[in-house]
Structure formats: C-alpha cells, structure tokens
C-alpha cells in the first residue's frame, strides 16, 4: 500500500523561488500527495501566478520563524507521511516516490535524500550523522538503494530540511518543530529527538532535490551572511538542549563562524569591518538563545481533508541540440512540457566547458556544457567524445531520476 503524503513548502520573501519550486512539484509522479504552502505576504501571490492555487492548501505566516511556519503546515497535513522541501529547491520528478518508499517498512520513522548544489551535478549534502554539539560528519552509504539506520541518544542520522520526510503521527507525537529554533538546526533538533527514541531513519540516495541557496534577509546570493543573529541563537538553544549543559559557552561555535567569515573576507566578499560587525550579531543572537524557552510546541488538532495535488506519471522526452540551436530546441522542449511530458534538454558545444544542470522557469530540465568537458567532477578535464555519444552518456545518468516508466526507476524503489 502506498502511503498518502503531505509536502510542506515554507516561503518567506522569495516569490520567484516559490513559483519555480511549485512548477517542479507539479511534475512529480507520486499518486497520493497533497502540497501545503506556508508563505508570507511577499511570497503569497506566487501560488496564484502558477495556476496551481486551487490544488494547494495554504497558510499565511509573516513571522520570520521557520519552525512556526513548518508547524503551521503540519497543522494542515492530512497525509500519513509529511515531506519537506525548501522554496529555493526543485525536486527531481521521482523525488517523492523514492523518498517515501522506505516507509513500506513499519519500522521506518523518517527518511532523507541527497541534495545537489547550484550546478545541478555536485552534491551539497549526502549522508551524515549529527551530534549533540551540533557538529556533523559524513558517512558512506550505498549510492543507489536506501540504507536503514538506527542511532541513539546524542548521535542522530542527519536529514536535510530541504529533503526529508517523517511519519505524521510520529512528528505530531513529538510536538512538531521546536519554535525556539527560528532558523538553523530546526531539523537537526528533530533528528536528535528521533535518536532519543532509537527511531529508524532511511537514507535514500535517489530521492534528490536541487538546492540553490537563494538570497534572503540572512545571506546574499553568494551565501555571504548578512546577519548571524539567528545562527547564534539556535546554536545556544541547541547546545542547551542537547549538549549536556544548561549554560554552554560560545567559544567553539563562535570560532567556527569567525573562520567562515574570514574565508569570505579572503575571497573579497567581506571587508574586515564586516567580520567584526557580523560576529557582534552572532554574540547578540547567542545571548538571546540563552534566554529562550526550550521546547516551544503548539497543539495540533484534526487537519482539513486531504487535497490531492493531481500528479501523474508522465513520459520522459530527451531533446539533444547543439548550443547554437538553443532557441529552436527550447521551443520544442517547451511544447513537450505543455503537452504533459517531462523534458530533459541537452545543449552541447564543441568545447571543454564544464557541465551544468538546472530546471528552467518554463519547466524544462536543461544540461549545458562542452562535448569534451567535465560533467561529474571526477571526470577527466578533457575527453574525446563524439557529440551524440556524449549526449546519450549524460542522458543515461539521469534516467532513473527523470523517467518514472524506466526499468532503472522501478528496480531502485525497493528497500535495502
């Protein structure tokens, strides 16, 4: 039996990102999902602009607190499973089916997938463990099939807030998200609380989203911090809660933030005075976090009825073209999207340029790069490919992610 799933998207001040995320969600293949958007006044109009407004449950939240917003979404969720994706992320069409498949085992309480970065090829995050001092460490897992893991107190299986799922009954039973975490470490707190219950978490490599790190009030488009207040506050709250002492000191986390700021300064993205100013915002946040009430949880009542998002399995169309024929190829690709297909467009130039994958605002998945250049960053700097063979090679890599009718996709939906 396939579980029903509620997908929650939180958006604050990023209507363009939300529109793109919802367009990506409109292409997913899971047959029993609903989509819930929790948005502030700035992002709210994006739902109507996508034409999907009547298929979405929505809640307005102008409080700049991601835990409050996620709890507002959870209050509307009627699915057996609750999945989370950020507004500046786009899911692969098969994302939700892969992510929720491990819940066929009644022992699995949570699941997390892999997250690709801005170039659509490298991974920002794969599999990690999280600890009570807020540190994380990478771990090796199977690169294709789910791995089920059980952690324990102080040592959790890490899931990323932009790509995770939890049984609704479990999350409600835990009180939802702790609203003391306005930003940062909110999902890691969930991971540590699940670990205290010895819960089983699935790491699902094929459940993939593309995450862009869109600019916000807290960071610029190149990830330079504008303020560290909420990071300082959340670290103080987290260490009070999980670090074994009610009165943690800021020296180690502050030093880590200082190193991060200095790296931005060396790269020319910050001035020396900016480093001092930003550390002052960290100190102010830390002081605030020491005073916050812990375990701030709302009460949840019966949600409104399940609102099906009307997804379906689509055929996957591959379009290959030389880069100088981009306009013609894009026209054909957009037409195929409008007819209800998932489209992967490969634009190759006769160069050694590195490759990039991204989801276009028209709903087309695009890969650009040189016929002889790198795709995976472990590839050679230059390889003597023929154009068609190179395109076929790149298309084969993503078949199991884009084509829900492929044998690769169906073979990988099992549980390890």
What's residue 229's pLDDT?
97
Summarize pLDDT for 18-48 with one digit per residue, the tens: 999 999 999 999 999 999 999 999 999 999 9
Closest CA to 211 of 149, 163, 143, 278: 163
Q: Band of the pLDDT at 415, cuts 50, 70, 90?
A: very low
Q: What was the pLDDT predicted at 15?
A: 95
- Closest alpha carbon to 231 in 178, 284, 295: 284
**323: DSSP letter:** G
Q: What confidence tier does 56 reach under pLDDT thresholds 50, 70, 90?
A: very high
Q: Indicate the pLDDT class of residue 213, thresholds 50, 70 and 90.
A: confident
What average pLDDT does the segment 107-134 reach?
96
The CB density around residue 244, as the number of other CB atoms within 10 Å, is 11
Pair of tokens at residue 113 = 């997938």
* Whole-number pLDDT of residue 153: 86
Report the C-alpha gap between 352 and 192 in whole angstroms. Answer: 45
Please determine, for residue 379, whether its predicted confidence score (pLDDT) is greater than 90.
Answer: no
320, burial (CB in 10 Å: exposed 0-12, middle 13-18, buried 19+): middle
d(C-alpha 273, C-alpha 141), whole Å: 43
pLDDT at 19: 96
189 by Cβ neighbours in 10 Å (0-12 / 13-18 / 19+) ranks as buried
Instruction: Give the model's pLDDT for residue 263.
Output: 95
**Beta 81-86 vs 5-11: how paired, if at all?**
parallel
Name the CA radius of gyration of the chain, rounded: 22
In the structure encoding, which two tokens stand for residue 203, read together? Answer: 């790491």
* Number of C-beta neighbours around residue 146 at 10 A: 26
Residue 1: what pLDDT? Answer: 64
pLDDT-derived band at 151 (thresholds 50, 70, 90) equals confident
pLDDT at 152 over 70: yes
Question: Can you tell me the mean pLDDT for 348-352?
Answer: 94
Residue 414 has pLDDT above 80, yes or no: no
Report pLDDT digits (tens) over 246-263.
999 999 999 999 999 999
**Please, are residues 166 and 85 in contact by the beta-carbon 8 Å criterion?**
no
Q: Yes or no: say if 36 and 103 are a contact pair by the CB < 8 Å rule.
A: no
Tokens at residue 341, please? Answer: 């297909």
Which token pair is 412? 């990988």
178 Cβ contact partners less than 8 Å away, ≥ 6 residues apart: 67, 186, 189, 237, 241, 294, 295, 296, 297
CA dihedral 244, 250, 256, 262 (to 10 degrees): 170
Residue 96: count other Cβ atoms within 10 Å of its Cβ.
Answer: 27
Contacts of 250 (CB under 8 A, 6+ apart): 232, 235, 236, 282, 283, 286
Q: Across residues 355-367, what is the average pLDDT? A: 96
* Tokens representing residue 189 in the block: 């707190």
- Phi, psi (degrees; rounded to nearest 5) at 8: -110, 125
Q: Which of 113, 54, 71 is nearest to 89 (CA)?
A: 113
Q: Are 161 and 416 contacting, i.e. CB atoms less than 8 angstroms apart?
A: no
How confident is the model at residue 416, as a pLDDT?
Answer: 41
DSSP element (H, E) containing 358:
strand 356-359
287, pLDDT greater than 80: yes
Q: Between 244 and 73, where is the model more confident?
A: 73
Average pLDDT over every residue of 331-339: 95
From residue 103, give the alpha-carbon distance in Å to each of 3, 35, 169, 209. Answer: 8, 19, 13, 19
Contact 43, 72 (CB under 8 A): no
Q: What percent of the chain has pLDDT over 90?
A: 85
Question: Both tokens of residue 195?
Answer: 């670990």
pLDDT per position as a tens digit, 157-208: 999 999 999 999 999 999 999 999 999 999 999 999 999 999 999 999 999 9
49-57: average pLDDT: 91
Least confident range from 156-170, 277-291, 366-380: namely 366-380
């Amino acid at each position: 039996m396939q579980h029903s799933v509620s997908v929650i998207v939180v958006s604050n001040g990023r209507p363009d990102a939300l529109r793109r995320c919802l367009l990506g969600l409109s292409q997913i293949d899971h047959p029993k999902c609903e989509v819930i958007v929790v948005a502030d006044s700035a992002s709210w109009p994006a739902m109507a602009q996508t034409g999907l407004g009547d298929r979405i449950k929505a809640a307005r939240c102008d409080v700049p607190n991601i835990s409050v917003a996620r709890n507002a979404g959870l209050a509307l969720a009627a699915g057996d499973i609750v999945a989370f994706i950020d507004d500046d992320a786009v899911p692969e069409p098969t994302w939700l089916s892969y992510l929720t498949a491990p819940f066929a085992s009644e022992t699995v309480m949570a699941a997390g997938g892999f997250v690709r970065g801005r170039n659509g090829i490298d991974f920002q995050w794969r599999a990690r463990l999280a600890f009570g001092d807020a540190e994380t460490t990478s771990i090796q897992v199977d690169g294709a099939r789910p791995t089920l893991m059980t952690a324990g107190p102080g040592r959790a299986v890490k899931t990323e807030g932009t790509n995770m799922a939890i049984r609704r009954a479990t999350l409600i039973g835990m009180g939802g998200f702790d609203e003391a975490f306005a930003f940062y470490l909110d999902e890691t707190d969930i991971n540590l609380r699940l670990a205290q219950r010895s819960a089983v978490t699935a790491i699902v490599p094929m459940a993939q989203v593309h995450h862009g790190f869109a600019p916000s009030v807290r960071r610029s488009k190149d990830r330079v911090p504008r303020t560290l207040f909420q990071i300082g506050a959340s670290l103080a709250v987290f260490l009070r809660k999980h670090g074994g002492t009610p009165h943690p000191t800021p020296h180690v986390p502050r030093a880590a933030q200082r190193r991060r700021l200095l790296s931005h300064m060396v790269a020319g993205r910050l001035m020396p005075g900016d480093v001092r100013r930003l550390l002052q915002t960290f100190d102010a946040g830390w002081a605030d976090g020491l005073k916050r009430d812990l375990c701030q949880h709302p009460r949840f009542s019966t949600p409104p009825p399940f609102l099906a998002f009307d997804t379906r399995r689509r055929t996957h169309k591959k379009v290959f073209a030389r880069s100088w024929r981009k306009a013609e190829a894009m026209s054909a690709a957009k037409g195929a999207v409008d007819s209800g297909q998932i489209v992967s467009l490969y634009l190759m130039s006769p160069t050694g340029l590195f490759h990039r994958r991204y989801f276009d605002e028209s709903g087309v998945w695009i890969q650009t790069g040189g016929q002889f250049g790198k795709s995976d960053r472990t590839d050679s700097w230059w390889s003597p490919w023929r154009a068609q063979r190179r395109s076929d090679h790149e298309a084969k890599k993503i078949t199991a992610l884009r084509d829900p009718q492929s044998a690769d996709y169906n073979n990988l939906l099992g549980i390890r």
